[in-house]
Amino acid sequence: MPATIMIVDDSKTVRTLVRGALETDAHRIVEAADGCEALALIDGTDPDLVITDVNMPAMDGLALIRELHQRPRFQLMPILVLTTEGSERMMQKGRELGATGWVVKPFDPGELRQAACCALELRAKALSKLGRDPS
């Protein structure tokens, strides 16, 4: 089922590559260049999934995850991290903050699509358990 996905990355090239991988599944894509821009757009776009880089100016991806999960409306929203950061320490920090998954750049489009699909399925199950319509 198509979803609204927000891509947060300071690289326009990466955002374009991610968009290309996910649009094949008819998802609606919203883009932001950093965490601050994502927060400014998020209420109006109400994404089903956020895919964020870690290293960005203004507000990095980990701060974005922390901020989003402090907001009750977005506590169940899955967040995938797409970054060059692949250390176990960094991935553990992301999980502790609430990251749903972690994909290391350079990424395989099929792997990213699969991770996005799994994250969206987890969201649908969580909402269903609460008696809320996941669509």
Work out whether strand 4-8 and strand 49-52 pair parallel, antiparallel, or are unpaired: parallel
Of 14-18, 34-38, 84-88, which range is least confident? Answer: 84-88
16 CA to centre of own chain: 15
pLDDT of 135 higher than 60: no
In this predicted structure, the answer to whether residue 126 has a pLDDT above a threshold of 80 is no
Domains plus CATH for the chain? 4-129 (3.40.50.2300)
23 or 6, higher pLDDT: 6
CA-based radius of gyration for the chain: 14
How many degrees, rounded to 5, is the angle at CA 92 between CA 88 and CA 98? 145
The confidence score (pLDDT) of residue 118 equals 92
Better-predicted residue by pLDDT, 82 or 133:
82
**Do 123 and 56 form a contact (C-beta atoms < 8 A)?**
no
Overall pTM surpassing 0.75 (yes/no): yes
Whole-number percent of the chain with pLDDT over 70: 97
Residues 96-109 have a mean pLDDT of 93
